Structure 1
Amino acid sequence: MSWISQGETNEMRRFGFAVTFALATALAATSAAAQDRLLEVEAAMDESSITVTLPKPDERGVAARYLYVAQIETGVGSAATSVDRGAPLTTGILRFRRMGKKVVAELENTQFAAPDGSALQQASVTNSFPTATLWVGEISETAEDGSFSFDISSFLAMDHFGFAGQLGETYALSKEGSLADPSRVQVFPENAEFSAMLTFKAKQADASLRNVSPDGGTIALWVRHSLVKLPDEPMPVRTDPYGFAFSTYRYDFSAPLGESMLTKLAQRHRLEKTDPAAARSPVKEPIVFYVDGAAPEPVRQALIDGVGWWAQAFDEAGFVDAFRVEVLPENIDPLDMRYNVVNWVNRATRGWSYGPSIVDPRTGEILKGSVMLGSLRVRQDIMIFQALMGAGLTNTGDPNDPVAMALARIRQLGAHEVGHTLGLAHNFAGSSQERYSVMDYPAPRVELVDGRPSIANAYGVGVGEWDKFAIRYLYAARTDEEARTMVDEARERGLRFVSDADARGTSAANPHGSLWDDAADPVAELDRVLAVRRAALARFDVDAIPDGQDLPSLRRAFVPIWLLHRYQVEAAAKALGGMVTPHGLAGDSAQVETVSARTQQEALDVLLRALSPRELTVPDRLQPLLSYGPATDYDYSTTIEVIPTAGGPVFDSLRATEIGAVHVLDSLLDPQRLNRLEMQNAASPEIPSAHEVLGRLIFHADNLGGKGAVGRRIATTIALDLARTLQEGALSRSIAMQGEGQLARWAQELSRTRGRGVEADWRRGLGALLSDSERLAGALKDPALLPMVPPGSPIG
């Protein structure tokens, strides 16, 4: 085979409008001759066409097969859409089939297979499930040797990826504004690259997209299409039944009878020792990650440092010099399939960072890691730390310097996202065992030193014990049996694993795994964080923002301080109705455990304390400080981050009280949590029942009526949130009936209140509302009845 180099390509372009490229098709075909077929591409820049020539098809009409990869070349800049520069879109095996005068591009169905079956069984499985037809084109020419040509540009300019839906219901692809660019065709030794501009127009754009579009309604972006040579030798597969790694799911119809057909192919890089039998050995080809040069200093160096932590994990797993990190050279295309890249992505609003991989669907082999790091994350951290410590410490080198702590976080974030592109899943148990995994979401550890907040120990350094185990498990184990032995050893050492499904959402039950939490005892930690929050509110002042910044910015800086405890609330609530649910296989010693009654009672106590006026009263001195004009509705990125004002720029401190209450109630009144409590109480009466929880909550609310405006706001919020929960279908009807009975009895007591004054009138008014089922149902339909909690994730 011969390749046209990029230098030769550029030279050819100087002398004409057409350039021809050659790329091995890497067919998974039956004959050696098929492996030598070439793809020819002619980019006619004067006609805006890209003509592809494929070899003579086989007896099934298939002319070529490639790994097809699509990536976003230019993003939208809106965190809400996840349409970010560098993000992979589609990965699959794309085959081109000739049918008469047409050529069909279709994605193979790799989810169902019979790898160990006979040829007839494999054919049977293939013929039992559909492929996906992406495009049908016209064949323009057929040569004497049977090769044929067609213009692929219309295929490249289609919305195969559902962008219109991601952007919003009113967006549609503009065909006249969508086309492929022949001048951007590139060739590399094992991949050909094509680029197309897709244009979408909206009848009525969402505010988040009006915020980024030059004309408010039109979005144009570029998509990169890659046709990649399939690996000559597929990588040996490893399964991951525990879920420690990202997996490619495959249903194996050749599995022995009595065994599971579902196979989870662990995603991992091809990492081979030069001496496979040695415990420690250099590798044939190291894993290299490149940090986007667009990341500014000192962020770039922090990313290099943090991503580089993985070298230790590979070294301890026996792979010598197996991992390194470098800055991406300026002349390298970050979307080139040959390079693992940490992309620096800019958006109009802060949002998540991601660590996706491009994977061979047949084996789980990671062919390219493509990390997207949102540039506003580090700035959000600096804002939080300035609000905690004072902006005057910025860039001072002080142990509480906000910039130093934000860089500490960006090191951890770089390691976390690259960990995903090495194949590792989240482990949200890391914080429960003293930062033993970068694959957790770390809360900044804020401590009290002499009664004042300190962030000097905000984040850990280096990969943890779980991370080292996970790399060894994923890369050093040569068989599934070796991997299982490693898991047994890790369990004996006490290493925990809590997956996304076990940790996310207010209904999650495992107290060992939460997002943005800290410490081994989540209930005691909430008590500690509440004390830190009180100290942070006491010191919050105008120095929370840098000198010279507009004073309305204080409202944005205030929110993460006011809700400093938000994620520890969610973690503590998991103890209530909680169950430890380890991952295991049949024959393992893992045991499911219900959280003790004592711990559950302590969790209920601390959650009710978080609903007290002591915790939900905004200090009086902050009301004028947070009311500087103008209002913030002129800036979308600020408006979505702040507590609504009470007219113009006047800060609404009682709305802040309601928001704080709603956040606690979201976890406390989660229907699945209440259902679990009923089930656990039936088995162990000392565990609080759902009836007891609702009764204590009503009793707590009733006692708040006499504690001023803040107490009444909390009590009203409790009453309305409880009423709404009782009407939700997810709650057991027997529990809902108990709650309705308790609420009705409270409503009668409220309605019988005598006397005059604010408290008496409030009690009778609330009783009247709760007693009128029709009026209450109408009130609960109002989405503005209970406030929306400002966004929190990602907090850094």
Structure 2
Amino acid sequence: MRPISLAVLLAFGSQAFAQVPPAPVPPAPTPDVPLVATTPAQPAAPGAPAAAPAVNAAAPKPFNEVIKGAQRLPGFFALYQKDEKVWLELKPEQFDKPMFMSVNTPNGIGERGVYGGQMTRSEVVIFRKIGNLVQLIALNTDFRAKLGTPQALAVSQGFSDSLLSAAPVASAPNPQGKGILVEANALLFSDIPGYATRLDYAFRLPYALDPRNSSFSNIRSDDSMTGLHVNAHFFVPRIAAAPLVATPMPYMPPPFTLPDPRSMFLGFYYSFMPLPEQPMPARAADDRIGHFVTTSLDFSDDLKPSLATHAVNRWRLEKKDPALALSEPKQPIVYWLDKNIPEKYRESVKQGVLAWNAAFERIGFKDAIVVRQQEARDNFDTMDARHASVRWYVGVDAGFAIGPRQVDPRSGEILDADIGMSDVFARGARRMASEDTRFSPEAMAQAYYPGHAGHAENRCDYGMESAQEMGFALDLLEVRGDVEMDSPQAEAVAQAYVRAVIMHEVGHTLGLRHNFRSSTIYSLKQLQDPAFTTKNGMSGSVMDYTPFNLAVKGEQQGEYVASALGPYDYWAIEYAYKPIAPEQEKDELARIASRSNEPLLAFGTDQEAYGGVSDPGVNIFDLGDDPLAYFQKRLTMSRELWDRVQTRRLKPGESYESLRRSFEYGFSQFARVMPVVVKYVGGVTHLRDHAGTGRATFTPVPVERQRAALKLLTNNLFRADSFKFTPDMVSRLGGDQLVNRLRPDVSIGSHVLALQAAALDQLMSDPVAGRLLDSQEKVDQSKKALALDELYTTVQSAVWSELKTGKDINSMRRNLQREHLKRVATSLLRSAPGARADARSLQRQQALVLQRDIRGAMSGAISNEARAHLAESYETLSQALKAPMLRTGA
């Protein structure tokens, strides 16, 4: 087995990373890059005259012959370009030496996640020469052990590196410097970023990279970095015809933004640069504060309770004069504003970036962050690894901002970050909601209910979700007459929104994760005071998803969006960036983290918001210290919007699109609010405290709050008169007739049922039943916990209220009752793995009660449709109660 090179070990200091070279088998030959086998020359017979050296036809050509007529670009790698060919010169000392490589995507196709201006991946790589083959290898940096120990050898044997690409040696050594040439076309015209899989996921089509029709759009090199922009051609030979009949699997149409969906060009920007010669000292993470971390498993010490080490992701920031209380940094964090940002938003973007300087000033840095504008004459690409940037991007379905970063895995040092901001706030927030399936009630309900798989830790949907908030806010303010569209007031709201979104995304690029608990630290009354929020922020952190701060009609209106950092932001920056002497760091970090129980520093992130613990204090788009009161305000505003829409009279010639948009935005608020209210039922507060605070890690939500949440749900979602709209309004909910829709009119029943069904799914789920039953173990008196029987009784009574009142059952109510009945019957017929026996027993008891009530109501003065509905429901329950239970997983 080939040993780890000394260069690798030295470059990574005292830690040895796993490095097991792949077997030296060259890739299969291609028409463009033939691989010719060579046969060693036979020795001459004894006494025979010396023969002339055999000429090896496959031997690389002389260096100067290959580069004859080529243009040379000196730099980290010297580049040579002639016509369509580009070569890299690799010097002997550059082989087997770890370096940083990033691949970003400047160009996309504008739909289904394939957008331009996106950060893609980064690796620590080495170039390895095996005979006449050069391999580009990604080192496995996740596993390590102390250099020179048996554990280091075991790590190198236990974990493999990955081959990213390979190309034949293109020249003999350079007579000056001994460097050899590798054709960059052969090396980089391959799918290193793995976009074939991404395209397959998006379109279910087998797109493949086409090297013959790929090319270099731009190349540049200097001492600090070598960059190559590949214009990569992907194609698929044919597009399958759409199915003639419906199939179990949904049909995924091909891309529609392309002139020909069989062909597309994507941009891949490859950056190669040296790793920092001296790794930045790693700062250990603390789970009480939300930082992105670099995690590795260290096998050096088998007595440690955990192999994992977690280093905070942060920029290298050092004082120019450590003796000064406030000093400029040796090297500030520089954000370049890309030339593609619309001029009207550049100042707001700049202010959003610079807002973070307030947090750095508190720990002794003056102008830690600097903003520079890329001008039209600047020829560098902000997608390279040397320019942290803010970029604009567009797409037909794009609606988000994102703040990724790329780090040195040895230390967690952030080396590059590129914020991507779509134009959704300028255009998408005013787009008619129904034009985009993401804004439909079905999609909204699916997206916001706990456990939604689309919310991953490293994903940020703040831009898209805030666009929804902005759309609702502007529609409400417009119908109130408070703000006119295209007015200076509306422009000010848009600019403030841009600044707030950029503040959030810059926080990600500084290493901060989401903080979804921070919105609960201030009262609703404090949030109505602009002077208070200008000074203290609108929530504990700009890393929350905060909604537009809208006042109920008649209340004082505060700031609409956050304009200042919150107290948590200062705390998180202090932990990550405060200069601390090495011998004091452990104690000082412990002191900083120990403040986690202070109310203003409340923290909860994606795990609490979307994970297995249903913590109603950790939400997106709530505001104030009484979330239930806030949610009721939002529902009141939605109904206000609907009421105004129902009485609004449009001017002659005005499109009905505005009515439909307002109607849809009202439902989007219900879809956003209801899932969070449901979290209170069986909810558990999950704190990240360490020992000594006196607070428990898990505490069931007080029973009074759970009952209040149930009441809010039943009053707004399950009551017989929860949704009433005038036929005159419903008949006018048209839209832009130039936009194709599967259904041009609006089905009120479908909208309502989507919200109700999603709420029933959660309320009657096995996890909620399990949490309610388990909560009995976490309180000293059972009366302090909501009983599962009370939940089932409350929901059933609300859904089937007509059985008690004797009133007729309209179609919307019948739909709701069928959804409830479907879940009751399923619980009687099928027992899922992990379902609680007590829950199953209570559901059967509830079914018997419901059957009795239905039988009693069938003789009432009701319509034939209602009577038929009850008869069918009674029969369904009877058959389910008689049927044997299927125990899944048994």
Query: How far did 1:112 drift?
Result: 0.7
Identify the residue that residue 708 of structure 1 maps to in structure 2. Answer: 810
1:469–1:490 contact (8 Å) kept in structure 2: no
TM-score (norm 2): 0.75
1:500 aligns with 2:532: no
2:89–2:181 contact (8 Å) kept in structure 1: yes
| Superposed CA offset, 1:485-538 (max 9, x none) | 112134345411001111126x64222210111221222222222222221211
1:691 aligned to which of 781, 785, 789: 789
- 1:590-739 equivalent positions in 2, closer than 5 A: 590-592=695-697, 593-611=699-717, 612-627=719-734, 630=737, 632=739, 634=740, 639=741, 645=743, 649-681=744-776, 684-686=781-783, 687-704=785-802, 706=807, 707-721=809-823, 723=825, 729=832, 732-734=835-837, 735-739=839-843
Distance of 1:120 and 1:696 partners within structure 2: 64
Query: How far did 1:108 drift?
Result: 0.3
- 1:563-574 equivalent positions in 2, closer than 5 A: 563-574=668-679
- 1:72-471 equivalent positions in 2, closer than 5 A: 72-78=105-111, 80-81=112-113, 83-114=114-145, 116-118=146-148, 121-143=151-173, 147-169=179-201, 170-176=204-210, 180-182=214-216, 184-196=218-230, 197-201=232-236, 203-204=239-240, 210-242=255-287, 244-255=290-301, 257-276=303-322, 278-330=324-376, 331=378, 332-379=380-427, 380=429, 381=467, 383-390=471-478, 393-394=483-484, 401-434=489-522, 435-450=539-554, 457-471=559-573
- Code of the aligned partner of 2:157: N
| Superposed CA offset, 1:714-752 (max 9, x none) | 323333355567758476242245324523552464356
Distance of 1:162 and 1:722 partners within structure 2: 45
Distance of 2:183 and 2:599 partners within structure 1: 60
Identify the residue that residue 762 of structure 1 maps to in structure 2. Answer: 869
Distance of 1:397 and 1:716 partners within structure 2: 48
Which one is further off, 361-370 or 144-153?
144-153
Distance of 2:649 and 2:75 partners within structure 1: 58
Distance of 1:651 and 1:445 partners within structure 2: 29
2:88 aligned to which of 52, 62, 67: 52
Query: How far did 1:547 drift?
Result: 9.6
90 and 668 in structure 1: CA distance in 2 versus 1, 3 angstrom threshold: same
| Superposed CA offset, 1:435-488 (max 9, x none) | 12100001112221238xx97632221111111111111100532432221121
Distance of 1:490 and 1:760 partners within structure 2: 59
152 and 265 in structure 1: CA distance in 2 versus 1, 3 angstrom threshold: same
2:90–2:179 contact (8 Å) kept in structure 1: yes
State the SS of the aligned residue for 1:679: helix
Query: How far did 1:628 drift?
Result: 5.8
| Superposed CA offset, 1:603-647 (max 9, x none) | 122122222244333344421221467485x1xxxx5xxxx74xx
Distance of 1:530 and 1:213 partners within structure 2: 41
2:596–2:689 contact (8 Å) kept in structure 1: no
1:308–1:324 contact (8 Å) kept in structure 2: yes
Identify the residue that residue 60 of structure 2 maps to in structure 1. Answer: none
- Code of the aligned partner of 1:664: A
2:597–2:693 contact (8 Å) kept in structure 1: no
Identify the residue that residue 742 of structure 1 maps to in structure 2. Answer: 846
- Code of the aligned partner of 1:328: Q
2:70 aligned to which of 18, 35, 39: 18
Distance of 2:735 and 2:69 partners within structure 1: 61
- Code of the aligned partner of 2:674: V
Query: How far did 1:287 drift?
Result: 1.1
Distance of 2:71 and 2:132 partners within structure 1: 25
Distance of 2:724 and 2:222 partners within structure 1: 63
State the SS of the aligned residue for 2:226: strand
| Superposed CA offset, 1:665-723 (max 9, x none) | 34433432221011113555222233321222112111146353333333233333555
90 and 52 in structure 1: CA distance in 2 versus 1, 3 angstrom threshold: same
Distance of 2:696 and 2:874 partners within structure 1: 47
Distance of 1:503 and 1:160 partners within structure 2: 34
Distance of 2:714 and 2:119 partners within structure 1: 45
Distance of 1:548 and 1:190 partners within structure 2: 61
Distance of 1:306 and 1:160 partners within structure 2: 34
TM-score (norm 1): 0.84
Identify the residue that residue 785 of structure 1 maps to in structure 2. Answer: none
1:388–1:540 contact (8 Å) kept in structure 2: no
21 and 540 in structure 1: CA distance in 2 versus 1, 3 angstrom threshold: same
| Superposed CA offset, 1:201-258 (max 9, x none) | 3635975753322223433211111111211211110121315111111112224723
Which one is further off, 415-424 or 389-398?
389-398
419 and 725 in structure 1: CA distance in 2 versus 1, 3 angstrom threshold: farther
1:269–1:365 contact (8 Å) kept in structure 2: yes
Distance of 1:717 and 1:17 partners within structure 2: 75
18 and 402 in structure 1: CA distance in 2 versus 1, 3 angstrom threshold: same
Query: How far did 1:589 drift?
Result: 5.1
1:19–1:43 contact (8 Å) kept in structure 2: yes
1:540 aligns with 2:640: no
State the SS of the aligned residue for 2:267: strand
Which one is further off, 225-234 or 653-662?
653-662
1:597–1:688 contact (8 Å) kept in structure 2: yes
363 and 84 in structure 1: CA distance in 2 versus 1, 3 angstrom threshold: farther
1:358–1:366 contact (8 Å) kept in structure 2: yes
| Superposed CA offset, 1:135-163 (max 9, x none) | 22212333267643222313312222332
Residue-pair matches, total: 724
Distance of 1:190 and 1:402 partners within structure 2: 45
Query: How far did 1:50 drift?
Result: 2.3
Distance of 2:702 and 2:415 partners within structure 1: 46
Distance of 1:627 and 1:340 partners within structure 2: 45
2:119–2:383 contact (8 Å) kept in structure 1: no
- Code of the aligned partner of 1:41: L
Which has the higher Rg, Structure 1 or Structure 2?
2
Distance of 1:590 and 1:208 partners within structure 2: 53
Which one is further off, 220-229 or 615-624?
615-624
Distance of 1:720 and 1:409 partners within structure 2: 43
2:518–2:541 contact (8 Å) kept in structure 1: yes
551 and 340 in structure 1: CA distance in 2 versus 1, 3 angstrom threshold: same
456 and 93 in structure 1: CA distance in 2 versus 1, 3 angstrom threshold: same
- Code of the aligned partner of 1:439: M
